[in-house]
Structure 1
Amino acid sequence: MRWVLTLLLSLGAGFAGAALWDAAGFGGKATRDYLLANPEVLPQAMEELQRRDQQARIAPLRAELETPFPGAVMGNPDGKVTLVEFTDYACTYCRQSLGDVADLIAANPDLRVVVREFPILRPESVDAARMALAAAQQGKYAAFHDAMFRLGPPSADAIEAAAKEAGLDLAKANAAIASGAFDTHLRTNAALANELGISGTPGWIIGDQALNGAVGKQRIGAAIAEARES
């Protein structure tokens, strides 16, 4: 398996020329015969390559990733295991994942969920994300988050209704939004997503793993257990 992984790493680095292939010792009948006889090693090696790539991307960003906008945390704010979610209030799959996150929080008392607003689907998503951060500033993030997904998709009326349901001081929230107080954080979230290769929502980071889409609570739960053990 090690030499197969080395082969794939070499190809990934651009060593596709026949001369380099042979120089690296990957050519010849023995190699071809082994791969034909054991084709299952290639998917296994690709999976390991992907895992290593994820680790390399996440490791230098971990501290920043797991440091939330103040108040934009759900679950146990002092939890030992951190799940990072990139989300957009216009995202149907994010809405579908809301119950999964609630179930995971209930099942894992040590779970801290850092939510990163990643409004990419429509202009109103940006407005909803800004109001969410205003809610976080007022200590009412979770209430707004749940109400916005329930009342969405985001529109001016839905955002205001969610803010009122969460009990926000709207004058204070709108003043903070107008000041541009949250835009730097939103740009940071977009930059982090780009560095991690997250191009859609929901996107999840847990331990050394990056998961994309509504993968379900079983898959996320398994990643939480692995992160806890590492």
Structure 2
Amino acid sequence: MKAADRSRSHRIARRLVAAFAVILVIAFGAAVLYRTGPAEAQSDSASDIAADEFDEGERAAIEALVRNYILEHPEILPEAIERLRMKQAGEEISRIGDTLTEPFPGAVLGNPDGSRTLVAFTDYACGYCRQSVADVKALIAKDDDLRVVVRELPILSQASEDAARMALAAAKQGRYAAFHDAMYEGGRPDAQSIAAAAARAGLNMAKARADADGADIAREVETNRQIAAQLQVDGTPAWVAGDSLLRGAVGADALREALNHIER
């Protein structure tokens, strides 16, 4: 290969490497902007990155290449944002540790002693949570080693919180699953549907009402909100399986796939 051709190839290679680096920075910047807003999003510009390595003409060529690539492949930005969110979620899950997977006493579905844990953030006023009840039951039916830790996350209404508190009161009577099912079968939470679900679950109502107003249950609801905030969970349902965070009514297959990555 002639020296001139080698020089040209090297320039092209350098431009491609720089362009790739700039694409990563732009994608990362978009992700930070998405997460934190303009005031906190700070990153070097394409020109700054290439300033020490390339002359003005080369920088212009790289910037044009990056711009055209992003215009032709805009899907890389949401993909990069989602990858970043997944990475950050995994780090937060590890940081939170056992606090995430240790349930409020009794607020567990499936096998309380199971070695594989699915954490579910739910709200009784959430239609997608109601839709996901069947998915969770299907998983439990096929895996007797599955422990489902339910973290009550009432975010939609005061009635959501009233139902969540009663669910945790039911857990203190060993009737969590019964109330959980009855509440979702009874429609959106209100005073009547909560009382009806409690009756169907066979609760001691005087004790349940007293417990629902207790400090331990108030702390649990607040803890769940704090954990959700750390994970950037702002809607229900949301799920944690190992170091994976899933949002929405993703279905039994997606939950099973996430659980299959957990070492037994």
TM over 0.5, shorter chain: yes
Question: 2:38 maps to what in 1?
Answer: none
Question: 1:188 maps to what in 2?
Answer: 223
**TM-score scaled by length of structure 2:** 0.76
Task: Describe the SS at the equivalent of 2:104.
Answer: coil
Find the aligned partners of 2:44 and 2:69 in 1 and give their Cα distance.
20
* Structure 1 residue 31, shift from structure 2 partner: 7.8
Same amino acid, percent of matched pairs: 45
Q: Of 10, 16, 21, which aligns to 2:49?
A: 21
Question: 2:10 maps to what in 1?
Answer: none
Flag structure 2 segments of 5+ consecutive residues without an equivalent: 1-16, 33-40
* Structure 1 residue 33, shift from structure 2 partner: 4.6
Contact 2:110 2:148 in 1 (8 A): yes
Find the aligned partners of 2:93 and 2:63 in 1 and give their Cα distance.
33
Call closer, same or farther: CA 1:81–1:29 in 2, change over 3 Å: farther
Contact 1:15 1:21 in 2 (8 A): no
Compute the RMSD of aligned alpha carbons: 2.8
Find the aligned partners of 1:80 and 1:138 in 2 and give their Cα distance.
24
Q: Runs in 1 of length 4+ with deviation above 6 angstroms?
A: none
Q: Of 98, 101, 118, which aligns to 2:133?
A: 98
1:157-195 Cα distance to aligned partner (Å, 9 max, x none): 111111111111111111222344311110111111111
Contact 1:143 1:166 in 2 (8 A): yes
Question: 1:210 maps to what in 2?
Answer: 245
Question: 2:183 maps to what in 1?
Answer: 148
Say whether residues 1:81 and 2:81 are aligned partners.
no
Say whether residues 1:42 and 2:83 are aligned partners.
no
1:187-225 Cα distance to aligned partner (Å, 9 max, x none): 111111111111111111111111111111111111111
Query: Structure with the greater relative contact order (CA < 8 A, sep ≥ 6): 1 or 2?
Result: 1
**TM-score scaled by length of structure 1:** 0.87
1:65-106 Cα distance to aligned partner (Å, 9 max, x none): 101000000111111111111111111110010000000111
Which amino acid letter does the alignment assign opposite residue 184 of structure 2?
F
* Structure 1 residue 59, shift from structure 2 partner: 1.0
Count, aligned residues: 229
Task: Describe the SS at the equivalent of 2:97.
Answer: helix
Find the aligned partners of 2:207 and 2:230 in 1 and give their Cα distance.
33
* Structure 1 residue 25, shift from structure 2 partner: 6.9
Say whether residues 1:158 and 2:186 are aligned partners.
no
Contact 1:68 1:114 in 2 (8 A): yes
Which amino acid letter does the alignment assign opposite residue 101 of structure 1?
V
Structure with larger Rg: 2
